[in-house]
Structure 1
Amino acid sequence: MRKTGISRREFGIGFGTLVAAFSLEPVASLAQVVEGAAPVSFAKNGRLDAWIRVGADGAVTIFTGKAELGQGILTALSQIAAEELDLAIEQINIISADTTRGPDEGYTYGSQSIEQSGMALRVAGAQARAVLMAAAATRLNVAVETLSVERGSVRSQDGRQVSYAEIATGDPELLRRDVSSAVRVKKAADYKIVGKSVPRIDFPQKVTGEAAFLQDMRLPGMLFGRVVRPPRAGAQLLSFEEAAVRALPGVSTVVRKGSFLGVVAAREEQAIAAMQLLREISRWTEDGPRLPRSSNLPDELRKFAKEDVVVSDTGQGDAAGIVHQWVEASYSRPYLSQAAIGPSCAVAHFADGRMTVWSHTQGAFPLRGDLAKALQLPAERVDVIHMQGSGCYGHNGADDVALDAALLAIAVEGQPVKLQWMRDDEFIWSPSSPAMAMKARAGLSADGKIVDWQYELWSNTHATRPGQPGGLNLLASWYFDEPFHVSPPLKIPQPYGNGDRNAVPLYDLPRQRIVNHLLTDMPIRTGSLRTLGGHGNIYAIECFMDELAMAAGRDPVEFRLAHLSDPRGRAVIEAAATKAGWAPNSRSDGRHGRGFAYARYKNISTFAAVVVDVDVDPSSGAVRVLKAVAAIDVGQIINPDGVISQTEGGLIQGISWALKEQIMFDERAVTSRDWADYPILTFDEAPEIEVVLIDRPNEPSIGAGEGSVGPASAALANALAHATGRRVRDLPLTSNRIYKGRIG
């Protein structure tokens, strides 16, 4: 069985999906796009053997700094490398996100793995193939252009052959050279593997139940840990009775470092019992910030200290003279949880002054740096090895639990410690996705065109990961005797953005002004979640476009097309509308509704258009999402099934966020502690899905992971407005809000 560096298990479920795909002629060849342009990942990882190595047994190992988060990146990267090396995909082994033997590619986020690691492996693969072919030509004493290669076996015209393994074994230094972008990658027309729906290489272990999630990891002599958090953020530990805890069966030690408190035991249930007793007998101060009122969150957000940033201010003159009518609306979304099915987990082993941590982090190298600071160890004595966790949509507790486990491992030097958070830890202490308030105002001309666009948003930072300057972003470190502090808010420039991601509309507008009110001081810990601020901004903009279309007396799809010149954007809108059988200006029967939304993620990445059909019970406001149709353009498609899976996941999560999800809290602390307090969309609530893939073989590949999330929420909200005739603008769109909206 081929290897992926580690063993993994997950229950893989595929939604029944109808798929249509078609190809459009490119404007440039991939060779033209790539040739001579050094992949960004080469800047830190400039050696060819940092990316590709050939073993004496013929196995070819490729290395990536990106982490498999369930998005299928190991399969897609293996396809790219196998294509350039003329290997079968089963001949490729892949090692991912490992500080001991892999390249430093920062974080796996922003749907950039294909753009960054994929491009690096494409160019490195082409270079390695060229080097191996040149060595084969010398060995066979023939011209290199007369050789052919298949499955790593190089053949001359007279039938002689030599394998990559033989070539590499004969010259161990062959691939130990600098990378070069002065190579020609394959043309799309010559692809045999890229563009095909190759089965996921990590699925066999997942569907057969082999141990491979980090939560399943077992090491010889492994102990188990748990931590006790304060009753509210900021509270300090006063005292606890250590002897009572040590007297419990199996307890190895109790660890205190300032107000960080943890326990290690021989068995997991013993660690949990000790943790529960520690909670009961520990005494804490009442320190802690006052949390905002969740009942009136949008207004509360506007009260906090802020830094105003003008994101865009374009167009000349005063539009007032040509505005026929002004339209204004405000929208909001609540704090959202990462809500991974499996709680955050880490395994740590400290021996001979060296710390090894197995983590489902999104950034092995940044985590290593912050762990080294927190533990006061040289970075070269800290190793972080990625293993897949059970669900990851952003900055969850993976990095925090890594430090938790490391602190306990130091106390039992020589024995590995596995530490898994409890479910309430995950909801209360992992970074939440920030709440957002959005206000839009636009002027329409007499002929129904947008002539002025004004947009404001209120949100605090969506980026507080390890590795950022000015602080240390690991939870336990804030409770040391000499505590570290969280990094200041990170400003990410456009077009990537932070809370203002996707705040600039894609439409052709003669005048626009966008202002980001960056909240600098918020009492609830926040961090990155799928799309960052893109979800809230796409939701608001696309709902507002529907409201403007209604004010102008225009069909929503036609109204969007009238304001959009981008040919790729128009193509996805038309494809989604055609596949869904969109009927312009259709009327609702008071129960069934249909909504549309469009976005380009980060304004530079995936194009997505979504149609959602809903059924609303008129007596209760209960919503059933019947169907979602999405058209997607990710440039050159590496693995169609992978793009479909990511699109499905984004649609379902966007629907779940829109209908159900919100973190609840009182003035002291988060009160959402389990799935009853924080419901998500269930399997039987998932709609039928159809996906249209628009393949552009010679356009650069762009990531698919986040493109459909925002449009899904907006299309759902537009469908509900169409069904009921009333607009509910604050997420989540609960039955209670819908029912009140209908009778209010």
Structure 2
Amino acid sequence: MRKNKIEKQNFSDLRSPHQMDRRDFLKNLGGGIVITFSISGNSILDGEYLSGFAEEDFNSYLLIREDGRTNCYTGKIEMGQGPITSLPQMLADELDVSLDSVDIIMGDTDICPYDQGTYGSLSTRDFGQRLRAAGAEARGVLLQLAAENLDIPIERLTVENGIVSDINDKSKQVTYAQLTRGKKIVKSLSEKPPLKKPSEFKVMGKSLHHVDAADKVTGKAKYSADIQLPGMLYARILRPPTLTAKLTSLDLSGAETIKGIEIVQEDDLIAVLHEIPDMADIALAKIKAEYETDETGINDENIFEHLVKNGANIREVDQKGSLSEGKELAAHIFEEEYMDGYVAHAPIEPHTATAVMEGDIMTIWASCQTPYPTREEISEELGLPLKNVRLMQIFVGGGFGGKTSNPQAVEAARLAKITGKPVQLVYTREEEFFYDRLRPAAVVKITSGISGSGQITLWDYAVYFAGSRGAAQFYSIPHHKTVSIDGGRGNRVHPFYTGAWRAPAQNTNTFAREQQIDMMAAKAGIDPLEFRLKNLEYERMITVLKTAAKNFGYTP
């Protein structure tokens, strides 16, 4: 569990920004059991250590309250993928409590532990395991308390729905609520607390309705743009037509004629703000700006040639055998190029942020996948101590990797500080597409070969500008080489901003590889599934393919 892996979200406080000192959390607790992770000790993940936390940082996974309910704290955010439901499932099983007794708080940087971001399918397979460990730790504490309370050896105790009882006499029992009442216990997470086996799961592994589904389909769920604060201004920002464009002249006189308009011009930030969004739009349209732009000569017809030509940095991903020998063994050689264009994230909810400065405290509600890194960016940009910046999540209307970058939150915070008023910034649909960090365009070149019996003998694979994830070879090929090529550090090759899009690089590499496999299978006259199984020794992948074929009812 590194510093970059914890987050949280608050659904209740939509209107009243407040700053909770992390030390005050325990002071105001009253009673209950808190499970934290150790600042200096190992995490439950082998080889991973914490760094960068101050001792006063509050790093709680869960709180078992005096009323028996449990608060689950996470830096992860909910954007439709379901951790608002799945994480409480995991905690409920380890604690032996009912699912409806678990409350989850997500994405609030003031009271949730640090997390680098919600991406990479890490909510369940990474944070979920740590949350399970916290639940197991808390259960152990409660069992010890129950053993003392009931004067029964801990080995004779069993737990169900938050009630601890004697295995031999169920009338001897005590509830979690009774055990926590009047107590204030803080315990650090052990390195490897015992977790339940899958055979012991009661809640995990079951398909449940998402707990937020009803609110989303009825419009009750609140998003960052639903935040309404007294005196709030809506912002529109003047943006350049290209990444490298330089502003050469600016005429704001037209915008200044709009009654009630506020204009901000600070360094690279030029914005108009108004209490009515449409008036801000009108004011922006009245600004006259001229730019100097570079003619790159890059267009739809030559973009892929441009990428291959500028591939200066070559990194070997894996290699085995001799390509020349593999070519000699091949009865058929295949040389193909696969090209992927730029792809936008296109979330239903565009990048959005609402910010308010109260005294020296900045509070931001942002539609983002990275509350903590965004908070750090705002702190640095505004020159505020990190503890004076609070970022909160409501719901996020889709991210897909695009909301790991959040310039809108930084811009809204800057404008709120400059104007001294609450500011809301919502990207227009045009901004969402043009200034998005697109999936990078990419080229994959593959030379492969098969023997007369359909055995793959050769695999020469080069991926340009997509990245190496998913490129490493897992088929059983005696002679293969895979390289990943990009422009090198500091060399801007793409004419657009680029970034993570769904599973970065995996989509490009998987498509190219499996398309090539299908092509070879067709030439060999072998069913695509049988061809893959023939060229696999990796047992896990073999199991996946056979299971998928069975569940889909596929027969060769």
Q: Aligning the two structures, in what range does the TM-score lie when normalised by the shorter sequence?
A: 0.7 to 0.9
Where does residue 562 of structure 1 map in the other structure? 534
Q: Which residue of 1 aligns with 2:373?
A: 366
Structure 2 equivalent of residue 380 of structure 1: 387
The answer to whether residue 332 in structure 2 is matched with residue 325 in structure 1 is: yes
* Equivalent residues of 2:83, 2:123 under 8 A apart: yes
What residue number does 2:547 align with?
575
**Where does residue 458 of structure 1 map in the other structure?**
464
- Report the CA distance between 1:379 and its aligned residue: 1.9
- Specify the alignment match of 1:6 in structure 2: 11
Residue equivalent to 1:635: none
Residues 340-739 of structure 1 aligned to structure 2 (within 5 Å)? 340-396=347-403, 399-413=406-420, 415-459=421-465, 499-520=467-488, 521-522=492-493, 523-582=495-554, 584=556
Alignment match, 1:87: 97
Q: How far off is 1:165 after superposition? A: 3.0
For the residue of structure 1 that corresponds to 2:292, the secondary structure is: coil
Alignment CA distance shift 1:167-1:581 (3 Å): closer
CA contact (8 A) 1:228 1:275 kept: yes
- Offset, 1:547: 1.0
8 Å contact from structure 2 (residues 443, 464) kept in 1: yes
Structure 1 residues 8 and 315 mapped into 2: Cα distance closer, same or farther (>3 Å)? farther
Distance 1:115 1:510 in 2: 33
- Deviates most, 163-172 or 363-372: 163-172
In structure 1, distance between residues paired with 2:555 and 2:195: 44
CA deviations on 1:61-95 (whole Å, 9 max, x unpaired) are 01112111210012110000011111111111111
Q: CA, structure 1 residues 158+540, in 2 after alignment: closer, same or farther (shift >3 Å)?
A: closer
- The yes-or-no answer on 1:119 pairing with 2:87 is no
The alignment partner of 2:391 has SS state of strand
CA distance in 1, matches of 2:320, 2:366: 45
Give the aligned partner of residue 632 of structure 1. none
Partner of 2:314: 308
Which of residues 220, 228, 234 is equivalent to 2:244? 234
| CA distance 1:239–1:299, shift in 2 (3 Å) | closer
Distance 1:145 1:165, change over 3 A: same
Aligned to 1:39: 45
Mapped pair 1:267 → 2:276: yes
Q: Aligned AA for 1:435?
A: A
Match of 2:181 in 1: 169
| Aligned-partner Cα distance in 1 for 2:337–2:437 | 26
* Amino acid in the other structure paired with 2:118: T
| Partner residue, 2:235 | 225
Which range moved further: 398-407 or 120-129? 398-407
Tell whether the 8 Å contact from 1:315 to 1:511 is kept in structure 2 after alignment: yes
CA drift of 1:305 comes to 4.8
**3-state DSSP class of the match of 1:432?**
coil
Quickly say closer, same or farther: Cα 1:241–1:292, change in 2 above 3 A: closer
Once residues 272 and 166 of structure 1 are traced to their aligned partners in structure 2, the CA distance between those partners, rounded to angstroms, is 58
* Distance apart, 1:582 and its partner CA: 3.8
Asked if 1:293 corresponds to 2:281, the answer is no
In 2, are the aligned partners of 1:397 and 1:426 still within 8 Å (CA)?
no
Residues 470, 505 of structure 2: 8 Å contact kept = yes
Q: Secondary structure of 1:181's match?
A: coil
SS in 2 for 1:441: strand
RMSD across aligned positions (CA): 2.6
Q: CA deviation at 1:412?
A: 2.4
Distance 1:208 1:345, change over 3 A: same
| Distance 1:211-1:502 versus aligned 2 partners, 3 A rule | closer
| Aligned twin of 1:258 | 267
- The CA distance in 2 between the partners of 1:71 and 1:539, in whole Å, is 23
Distance 1:397 1:366 in 2: 9
2:370/2:403 contact within 8 Å kept: no
Instruction: Give the letter for the 1:310 counterpart.
Output: E
Cα gap change, 1:557 to 1:39, in 2 (>3 Å): same
Do the aligned partners of residues 137 and 538 (structure 1) sit closer, same or farther apart at CA in structure 2, a change above 3 Å counting?
Answer: same
SS in 1 for 2:335: strand
Task: Give the aligned residue type for 1:513.
Answer: K
In structure 2, relative to structure 1, the CA distance for the partners of 1:330 and 1:548 (3 Å cut) is: same
Distance 2:125 2:254 in 1: 55
Cα distance between partner residues in 1 of 2:332 and 2:198: 50
In 2 relative to 1, CA 218–397 (structure 1 residues): closer, same or farther, beyond 3 Å? farther
Change (3 A) 1:418 1:72: same
TM-score, with length taken from structure 2 = 0.86
Question: 3-state DSSP class of the match of 1:234?
Answer: coil
Give how far 1:398 is off: 5.6
Cα distance in structure 2, aligned partners of 1:66 and 1:340: 18
The code of the aligned residue for 2:344 comes to S
Q: Note closer, same or farther for the CA distance 1:8–1:245 as it changes in structure 2 (3 Å cut).
A: same
Contact persistence 2:232–2:424 (CA under 8 A):
yes
Output the CA distance in 1 between the equivalents of 2:161 and 2:436.
46
After TM superposition, which residue ranges in structure 1, 4 or more long, deviate above 6 angstroms?
Answer: 45-49
Contact 1:250 1:267 in 2 (8 A): no
Structure 2 residue runs without a partner (length 5+): 1-7, 15-41
Query: Percent same amino acid at aligned positions?
Result: 31
Relative to the length of structure 1, the TM-score reads 0.65
| Higher mean C-alpha displacement, 90-99 vs 431-440 | 90-99
What are the Cα deviations for residues 271-323 of structure 1, in whole angstroms up to 9, with x where unaligned? 22222223xx2x23213462622123321211225201111111257334322
SS in 2 for 1:102: coil
Aligned partner (choices 81, 98, 115) of residue 71 of structure 1: 81
Query: After alignment, is 113-122 or 292-301 more displaced?
Result: 292-301
Task: Confirm whether residue 59 of structure 1 aligns to residue 59 of structure 2.
Answer: no
Aligned length, in residue pairs: 511
Q: Secondary structure of 1:561's partner?
A: helix
Give distance in 2, aligned partners of 1:93 and 1:284. 53
Checking the alignment, whether the CA contact within 8 Å between 2:247 and 2:292 is kept in structure 1 is no
Work out whether residues 401 and 500 of structure 2, in 8 Å CA contact, stay in contact via their aligned partners in 1.
Answer: yes
Deviation digits for residues 610-639 of structure 1, max 9, x if unmatched?
xxxxxxxxxxxxxxxxxxxxxxxxxxxxxx
SS at match of 2:286: helix
SS at match of 1:318: helix
Task: Write the distance in 2 (CA, Å) between the matches of 1:293 and 1:238.
Answer: 25
Cα gap change, 1:580/1:118 in structure 2, threshold over 3 Å: closer, same or farther? closer
Give the Cα separation in 2 of the matches to 1:292 and 1:84: 56
Task: State the distance in 2 between where 1:273 and 1:162 align.
Answer: 65
Which secondary structure state, in structure 2, belongs to the residue aligned with residue 170 of structure 1?
A: coil
CA distance in 1, matches of 2:306, 2:228: 46
Equivalent position of 2:31 in the other structure: none
Greater alpha carbon shift after TM alignment, 146-155 vs 375-384: 146-155
Inter-partner Cα distance in structure 2 for 1:182 and 1:438: 43
For the 8 Å contact 2:321–2:480, the answer to whether it is kept is yes
